[in-house]
Amino acid sequence: MSTPDLNLLVTLNVLLAEGSVARAAQRLRLSPSAMSRALARLRETTGDPLLVRAGRGLVPTPRALELRERVSRIVEDAQAVLRPAEALDLEQLVRTFTLRTSEGFAESFGPDLIARLGRQAPGVRLRFVQKPDKESAPLRDGTVDLETGVVGKTTGPEVRAQALFRDRFIGVVRLGHPFCEREMTPSLYAAGQHIYVSRRGLDKGPIDEALTALGLERQIATIVSGFSTALALARTSDLIASVPERHTGALRSGMHSFPLPVSTPEITVSLLWHPRMDADPAHRWLRGCVRDACELIEGPRRI
């Protein structure tokens, strides 16, 4: 079965509205002969004469009368689809966006972001979901609108990324910990009992590589999957948590933080989304809100 020429719908809509080949040709800027040929094709395609001679004019057949309203709606809908999106009315916008991120990001940046959305678009709701891995499938299938994190090897090549801020790792202990009164050195830091954060269960990373270069090795007492868990353990013990500074600002309240005594690479936290959402006005607005919320919290160095 051959695919019908959908351009004929526009021609049929005008013919049925005008009831005249000449007027339809003028409206579509075609010659009368070209319009007559189009009518012949429509008759062949629909299996109905559609417009028949009645005196000096044309009258629609029952089939044409049946089609007239349906065709008009189809053409109007198609034209609406092909028009640029209307201006975004934030006050009338009703939508739930899903943001996949770490608990630290939600606690540090979430309050301002939620307040910002509430002021500008009261009908918008933000849903935070946990980030167990860096796979891009949730962005591809649309279950997640936005994601924050460090771009890695498992990030899909088509995923859009925009840097939000740079972050650096620091050490964190409870108030009253012996480290609070000591000048931090590599050997003192390595001698403590440490919490290692790894979603994949690893027990070594850049900090350990920097210590190894100095002939030192730290003792990993426990491994957890998130920075919030690491800080919760450090808050009620003598364990040491090493976490990103800006990412955990709210989580570290009431604790003692100190610069690491070894040099480690900074990390770049980015905003990630699927390219199909590039032109969506509401999504574009949300991306701007996330960027603005991150700019409000001062960090060690900005991008």
What domains does the chain contain, in order, with CATH numbers? 7-82 (1.10.10.10), 90-167+268-296 (3.40.190.10), 169-265 (3.40.190.10)
Which whole number is the average pLDDT over 105-121? Answer: 92
Do the bridges between strand 255-259 and strand 169-174 make them parallel or antiparallel, or are there none, so unpaired?
antiparallel
209-232 pLDDT, tens per residue?
A: 999 999 999 999 999 988 989 999
The pLDDT of residue 299: 43
- Secondary structure element (H or E) that encloses residue 111, with its range: helix 103-120
Q: How far apart are CA 250 and CA 172, in angstroms?
A: 13
pTM attached to this predicted model: 0.67
- Whether residue 95 has pLDDT greater than 90: yes
- Whether residue 303 has pLDDT greater than 60: no
Question: 206: which residues sit within 8 A by CB, 6+ positions away?
Answer: 169, 264, 265
Q: What is the DSSP letter of 136?
A: S
Question: 144: which residues sit within 8 A by CB, 6+ positions away?
Answer: 98, 99, 100, 129, 138
The pLDDT of residue 54: 85
Coil vs helix vs strand at 165 = strand
Q: Where are the beta strands (DSSP E) in 34-159?
A: 51-54, 57-60, 95-100, 124-129, 146-149
What residues form DSSP beta bridges with 52?
59
The sign one gets for the Cα dihedral 157, 162, 164, 169 is positive
Q: Where are the beta strands (DSSP E) in 5-73?
A: 51-54, 57-60
The pLDDT of residue 86: 67
Q: How confident is the model at residue 87 (pLDDT cuts 50, 70, 90)?
A: confident
Q: Indicate the Cα dihedral angle 162, 168, 171, 172, nearest 10°.
A: -40
Coil vs helix vs strand at 54 = strand
Backbone angles phi, psi at 163, to 5 degrees: -65, 135
- Whether residue 302 has pLDDT greater than 60: no
Cβ 290 vs Cβ 272: under 8 Å? no
Cβ 123 vs Cβ 95: under 8 Å? yes
Which whole number is the average pLDDT over 34-60? Answer: 88
Q: What is the DSSP letter of 301?
A: S
Which whole number is the average pLDDT over 235-244? Answer: 96
Which whole number is the average pLDDT over 73-99? Answer: 84
Q: How confident is the model at residue 79 (pLDDT cuts 50, 70, 90)?
A: confident
Residue 159 corresponds to which amino acid? V
Q: Which residue has the higher pLDDT, 135 or 94?
A: 94
The pLDDT of residue 296: 59
- Whether residue 30 has pLDDT greater than 70: yes
Q: Where are the beta strands (DSSP E) in 175-244?
A: 193-197, 219-224, 240-244
Q: What is the DSSP letter of 127?
A: E
Q: How far apart are CA 85 and CA 83, in angstroms?
A: 6
Percent above pLDDT 90 for the chain: 51
Q: What is the DSSP letter of 92?
A: G
Q: How confident is the model at residue 99 (pLDDT cuts 50, 70, 90)?
A: very high
- Whether residue 239 has pLDDT greater than 60: yes
- Secondary structure element (H or E) that encloses residue 215, with its range: none
118-169 pLDDT, tens per residue?
A: 999 999 999 999 877 777 888 888 899 999 988 877 777 888 999 999 999 9
174-210 pLDDT, tens per residue?
A: 999 999 988 999 999 999 999 999 877 777 899 999 9
Which whole number is the average pLDDT over 86-103? Answer: 90
Give me the DSSP letters along 222-241: EEES-HHHHHHHHHTSS-EE
